[in-house]
A and B are shown apart, each in its own frame.
Chain A
Amino acid sequence: MAEDTDPNAPWITLAGMLPVAITAALFIFFAGYLPGIAAGDTVRWAWAWIPSLDIALSFWLDGLSLMFALLITGIGALVMLYAARYLAGHPQYPRFSLYLFLFMLSMLGLVLADNLIALFVFWELTTFTSYLLIGFSHADPKSRRNALQALLLTAAGGLALLAGFILIGITQGTFELSVLNAAGSLSGDAWYLPILILVLAGAFTKSAQVPFHFWLPNAMAAPTPVSAYLHSATMVKGGVYLLARMHPSLSGTEVWLWTLTLFGGVTTVFASVMALRQIDLKQTLAYTTLMALGTLVMLLGGASGYAITAAMAFLLVHSLYKAALFLMIGVVDHATGTRDADVLGRLAGKMPATAAAAGLAALSMAGIPPLLGFIAKEVAYAGAVQSPVWPLLILFGLTANALMVAVAAIVAWRPFFGPQGQLPRPPHEGPWAMLLGPMALALLGLALGLAPGYAALLVEPAVNAVLGAPDSGGRLKLWAGFNLPLLLSGVTLALGLVLYLRHQSLRDRLIWLEARVPDLDAGWDRLLEHFMAAAKGQTRLIQTGRLRHYLFATFTVIVATVAVTMLARGPAAPAPSMGGLSVREWGIAGLILAGTLAVVLTRAVMTAIIALGVVGIGVALIFIVYSAPDVAITQLLVELLVVVLFAVAALKMPPALDPEGRQRHRPADAVLALLAGSVTTLVLLMVTSLPFDRRLSDFFEASSYAEAYGRNIVNVILVDFRALDTFGEIAVVVTAALGAFALLKSVSKARTRSGGAEGDREDRA
């Protein structure tokens, strides 16, 4: 990314600063609700959207959505400011700024939506905007591929989510989350399990739980501000938000507890081990994000006040330190031109502010007192020891946290104080616009750690919202006394330091190991390949390029649907009544029969054309006898014209039709033709046996002369009652005529130009 940018270009532009200003204003707007929400209020805004389906565009602000809204707008404003400087001079920067702003709005809509359908729409909007952001470097095929992977995976999860939401709407009779959550748990519902599976499918893909995790590290193809914002602080937390939001409705069952604990736990451990394996610092951070998401899911599996407080506190602290660290990596990358963990070193002297921000954020990540990260970890351990599945939680938590300590050191100690390799560029301190974000977020982690009461102001209303009932509170304390969680923290720290000291040899072994386990990312590519191959095979099967195959399929479908409908819904087929028919009628029928048979059987084109004329005259005779003089005249004239046109055209085409006796498909065609004929006959017999509704006919007969002053009712219908239809029809006639005219003329001109074409005309005497 950095190579497209120009550090000397002006970076304070309207495209960059307007979104920053709006986002900051939104942050202040939401911060204004903080005291009220902390006191237990909620706010709801609603507009009718699709009233017929009981879908409203409604928003609900409570403790949970407020915390998310503040994180989204607060970190959003800082990241947008950072991006303006980071991408200064990039030709596509305004596009980027627009995408980022749209993403921010979608994310805000997602966490504020009260209506499930609205939530889904915003959910997919975040998927879509993040696709545009991941694929921002669209000239790079890898970037495009990774963007598409994220899109397909999260959009597929989103569709499952929609199905789950619709099931909720059908079984519970409401789409409003506020109503649903107040009604309590759905666990007694017969549809609970399908709903849970569908919702979890959406949440787990969005929040990148194993085995859907692989898109998240790939999404790091995006510019660094995007990674900092989407893939640490906001979008990937969408799934976590959903689990927290629906906690009152869906939690409290064994399935919920075990599914979330296992998926979250496996993701946590897997991700923290993988984080140690990475060389690119951005990839390292990507895997720690995965680890954090796993931890959050694991904690949300519980239902105790401790577990949820731990989840919310960890969510807050993670958003702060992870965004800070990502932004810091961007500063380092910008300044030195590399993110290689083995090359970066001894930057502290040249980049003191960056080093300070990185250090504070990393201390929070490692859970060292007195930072907020320490408090969150203590509460998590306290929650874990009380959980019914405590051995699992302690095991997962301890492993992951120890690895986090090691990773924190790799990310924030080594580049600034460790040994230095060959840097592409001499390091220099970053500009203030890029330092403001990491600095502010890192300092916030420290300040909230020192004064946990302010953190509680944000966290406790959220906890109450997730639990659906007021919690006792007061769990966020810097010093909780000598207890089991403190001991666990000590063990974590010691273990983490050992891991850091040995991390390079560990990394080599992990790389060795990684080559020997199945690669889901490559599996994804194979899946897509198979998918395309299947599509290609299907196309080859269905799209044969032969007209008669298409027609055969079309007629088969028509015959089958009509026949099935008729058998299932239609009245009993009446017997044809042939009474009261004179010689006249039989004569006409015989004429049509003879003409039709001649057309089918003859091999001479001229005979067929004449036979067609006979059929047409037979049909015209029916119109004459049965009171339709206008139609009959039209039919006769058109029949005449058809014969003329065909005769003219046939002069230049082969006079004989091909014999069909040896064509293998004709018997099957004949069967289908007979079926089509029988079905049409039966339908018409049924229609004419039903009582006739004369309302329209009565109207036309009564008003033709009285209102339209015409005695020929057919003509009055054509030019007055239904004149608009007639206008459309004559327009079709003009179009068809001009089309045929153009077709014949243009081709003839082309032939004349190419020259010598006259010779290949075969003239027939």
Chain B
Amino acid sequence: MESLTALLVGLLVAASVYLMLARNFLRFLFGLILLSNAANLVIFAAGRMTAGAPALVPEGASVPDGVIGNALPQALVLTAIVIGFGLLAFTLALTFEAYRRLRTLDSDEMRHAEPDEGKTEAGR
């Protein structure tokens, strides 16, 4: 499954890079979500994948029974998901405010801080 995950991660990264390079800011956000998913899968797969054996110590025993799923990447990914959500919410708020003020979602037209020197928007 690690190999298939590697291919899926490649797919997600390619899609997210393509989306993040778009001029529409919503596409950028979609790319960010996909990238966050891809990163989580990379961490998860790098810790090796074991099917059907959650990282639990069975009742009555003091150590797990046999080979179980690797707990460390799971802990890392769990917090990464929540933090990724926080980041996404913040970016979404930023996007929305930018849209409300500038009435555009095109990042090329968001030139409030760095105005184009002597160029008009007609050339694009």
Contact = CB atoms under 8 A, between A and B. Distances in A.
- Whether chain A touches chain B in the assembled complex (some CB pair under 8 Å): yes
Interface of A: 540, 543, 545-548, 551-552, 555, 576-578, 581, 585, 589, 592-593, 596-597, 599-600, 605, 608, 612, 615-616, 619, 622-623, 625-631, 634-635, 638, 641-642, 645-646, 649-650, 652-654, 657-658, 660, 663, 665-666, 669-670, 672-674, 676-678, 680-681, 684-685, 687-688, 692, 696-697, 700-702, 704-706, 710-714, 717-718, 722, 725-726, 729, 732-733, 735-737, 739-740, 743-744, 747
A630 B74 contact: yes
A129 B73 CA distance: 54
Grouping DSSP codes into helix (H, G, I), strand (E, B) and loop, the A interface class, with mixed when no group exceeds half, is helix
A733 B83 CA distance: 6
Contact of B50 (A589, A619, A622, A626): A626
A740 B89 contact: yes
B15 A673 contact: yes
Contacts of A552: 21
Given A628-B54, A743-B97, A726 B79 contact: yes
B24 to A, nearest CB: 5
Contacts of B69: 626-628
Interface string B31-62: 00110011011101111111111111111011
B3 A714 contact: no
A645 B110 CA distance: 23
Given A628-B54, A706-B62, A736-B86, A747 B100 contact: yes
A300 B117 CA distance: 56
Contacts of A663: 23
A624 to B, nearest CB: 10
Contact of B68 (A627, A678, A725, A744): A627
Contacts of A638: 81-82, 84-85
A677 B92 contact: no
30 contacts: A540-B117, A547-B110, A555-B17, A555-B21, A592-B8, A608-B26, A608-B30, A615-B12, A622-B41, A622-B44, A635-B81, A638-B82, A645-B92, A649-B92, A660-B22, A673-B13, A673-B21, A677-B10, A681-B9, A681-B10, A684-B5, A684-B6, A684-B42, A696-B72, A700-B72, A701-B57, A704-B57, A737-B86, A740-B93, A747-B100
A615 B30 CA distance: 11
Given A546-B108, A729-B82, A653 B114 contact: no
Contacts of B18: 600, 669-670, 673
A692 B74 contact: no
Contact of A629 (B41, B51, B54, B88): B54
Contacts of A717: 71-72, 75
B63 A706 contact: yes
Given A673-B17, A681-B9, A634 B81 contact: yes
B58 to A, nearest CB: 8
A711 to B, nearest CB: 4
Contacts of B26: 605, 608, 650, 653, 657
B108 to A, nearest CB: 5
A638 B51 CA distance: 23
